[in-house]
Structure 1
């Protein structure tokens, strides 16, 4: 069995889930559950994949379902620090161009905050 670990914390525009280890058919359901638990409607969900060393098609499907579910709930899914094998899988499948992918967590958090501000009604005063 592959080792996958996750942690979640709030960020200003939503939630950040840090994922490390190997994501495959033996544990993809755990990530899917963590995503469901972390996401709030209308908010962004950021997945820090900087320590994710492997991902198979099961993991790819979790990301695609999460993208659709978060989008349908009025938020956005953002991936941060995608490297090596997971990055290659996203690129060769064409998914890289479909998802919001950022070089680092800070960039993803900033983009999520900007997107949230852009959705505010015009009559709401911005700080």
Structure 2
């Protein structure tokens, strides 16, 4: 359950209502969070809190959305708020492997062109950390 998450190194958490699995992997100079399942009005606040708790101020954040199957406007709001917070800190949010309904929602709303989206996690990490693809993995 979501309430079981206690620290940035806790590994995974699950939302109580609609299932959303989150896993954090610290990187040198940033954080990678994998999001699986769904983000909707029943769990968006918990997802946002989890990510805010685990991200590092003034460091880029990569969200691996390869296993995110559904996202409504509540999930979109989470992404926009994260993007705005990171922008205020002069750093960035990078989305990786966005597919299906979440990708469609980002495109329809125009958010796809505002938040950096990358075809692979490796490309997102490279862009976030300012490294060339193929360099030693940062996580």
TM-score, length of structure 1 as denominator length: 0.87
Q: Residue 26 of structure 1 corresponds to which residue in structure 2?
A: 42
Answer 1 or 2: higher relative contact order, Cα 8 Å, separation at least 6: 1
- How many angstroms does 1:12 deviate by? 2.2
Q: Residue 51 of structure 1 corresponds to which residue in structure 2?
A: 67
Structure 1 vs Structure 2 CA RMSD: 1.1
Q: Does 1:107 align with 2:126?
A: no
Which structure is larger by alpha-carbon Rg, 1 or 2?
A: 1
Equivalent in 84, 88, 91 of residue 68 of structure 1: 84
Task: Count the aligned residue pairs.
Answer: 115
- How many angstroms does 1:44 deviate by? 0.3
Equivalent in 84, 92, 95 of residue 100 of structure 2: 84
4+ aligned runs moved over 4 Å, structure 1? none
Secondary structure class of the residue paired with 2:41: coil
Gaps of 5+ in 1: 116-127
